[in-house]
Amino acid sequence: MSAWEEPGPAPPASNSAVAGIMRRTGRKDTRPELALRRELHRRGLRYLVDATPPGTNRRRRADLVFRGARVAVFVDGCFWHSCPLHVHPPKANAGWWRVKLASITARDRDTDAALAAAGWHVVRVWEHERPVAAADRVHGLVHARRGRHRRP
């Protein structure tokens, strides 16, 4: 098993409320992602949503892709991506969750390295970041890199 593969079948949820929350957790169009997209769009930036950066692994999709600047943006949830400020590992099924969350972190590092090797710059935004501050980082980088790279 590579470092970022799934840890095996998920154990049953500890209660029906947890099961409902996990079932409703989406992969795209999350509140933090939509807030960042609105702010970037307000600033005149255009991007691809939930896209694979050209020249990279098709199984890895960035939340936002700025092709001309070769910038890939990921809006990471604090729980799923083990935010150092807000990580609270679940107590139920702790061993399974430890492996699961570690595999997600390892996959993130692998994705970042693969994108960098393909000439892309990765921006990771935590869900707790203010959308305006995150947009400042993304906008500055896209502006600085725009024109340096041609679209593949």
Give 93's pLDDT tier (boundaries 50, 70, 90): confident
pLDDT digits over 44-68, tens only? 999 999 999 988 877 889 999 999 9
Per-residue pLDDT at 19: 60
Residue 28: the pLDDT is 81
Question: Highest mean pLDDT range out of 18-22, 55-59, 145-149?
Answer: 55-59
For the chain, the distance separating the N- and C-terminal CA atoms, rounded to the nearest angstrom, is 33
Tell me, what amino acid is at 98?
R
3-class DSSP string for 89-120: CCCCCHHHHHHHHHHHHHHHHHHHHHHHHCCC
Evaluate if residue 1 carries a pLDDT over 50: no
CB 138 within 8 A of CB 73: yes
**CATH fold of the domain at 25-145:** Endonuclease; Chain A (3.40.960)
What is the amino acid identity at position 97? Answer: W
∠ at Cα 81 (96, 121), nearest 5°? 140
| H-type alpha helices, 1-130 | 16-24, 31-42, 94-117
Averaged pLDDT, 10-15: 63
